[in-house]
Amino acid sequence: MKKLIIPVVAIALLASCNSAPKETAETTEAKPAAEVTGVAYNVDTATSLVSFVGTKPVGKHTGDFKLTAGTLSVTEGNVSGGSFTIDVNSVVLTDINPYAAKLREHLLGADFFDVQKFPTATFEITGSEPLTNDTTGTHKISGNLTLKGVTENISFPAKISLSESEVTANASFGIDRTKWGIVYNNDKSLGDKFIYPVVEIALNIKAKK
């Protein structure tokens, strides 16, 4: 089966609004990838993005990652598998921040993504099921997210649109960064320097035949 690689996120992790994201993906141990066959759609790396919002008590930071490759498999009108890879080093901060360059360097370092050791993050689909009368998505997607050398399985609702020539997938959910070993400033006693463990991730994926 094909793999889906997302950097999840990854998740950057510093940021701030007045509260952490509320909806978090269900997280369990890694599962076997779905063995599927079907029509392969290649991820459009020019238009697909993985975005994040990181929060702390006094602010937030937002950013985007680029995908380097990926495929989605469609079987009988359903996304049945796939994978994509994200270049963690491609992170761009999108909030207005005079310290963006310094913050980006910090995110790429050992406290966060440690890109010298872990230059990519990946997401590989392990399951997909249609949702009925659900405002959050058309499908529930499950998959193994590998970030900073750690693999956990996450499940979240996604809005998926299929045509003969194109697949689009959009999702928004939170992940607990500490499950992937990103624990920097994860201590409420730090006050304003505390960074919420839950990071909001948005997937905007387009794939074509």
Q: Which residue has the higher pLDDT, 91 or 10?
A: 91
Distance CA 115, CA 89 (A): 7
Q: Across residues 43-55, what is the average pLDDT? A: 97
Distance CA 175, CA 82 (A): 20
Element (H, E) at 108: helix 100-108
As a whole number, the mean pLDDT across the chain is 89
* Domain residue limits, the chain: 26-208
pLDDT reading at 53 higher than 70: yes
Distance CA 85, CA 3 (A): 8
Distance CA 126, CA 67 (A): 19
Rg of the chain over Cα atoms, rounded to whole angstroms, equals 16
pTM of the model: 0.87
pLDDT reading at 21 higher than 80: no
Band the pLDDT of 22: cuts 50, 70, 90: low
Q: What percent of the chain is predicted at pLDDT more than 70?
A: 89
Answer positive or negative: Cα dihedral of 206, 171, 194, 96: positive
31-41 per-position pLDDT tens digit = 998 876 789 99
Distance CA 177, CA 200 (A): 10
Beta strands in 48-136 (DSSP E): 49-56, 59-75, 78-93, 120-130
168-201 per-position pLDDT tens digit = 999 999 999 999 999 998 888 878 889 999 999 9
Q: Note the CATH number of domain 26-208.
A: 2.40.128.110
- Reduced to 3 states, what is the DSSP secondary structure of residue 110? coil
Give the residue among 154, 157, 133, 156 at the shortest CA–CA distance from 145.
154
Position 188 scores a pLDDT of 81
Q: Across residues 97-105, what is the average pLDDT? A: 92
Position 193 scores a pLDDT of 81
pLDDT reading at 70 higher than 70: yes
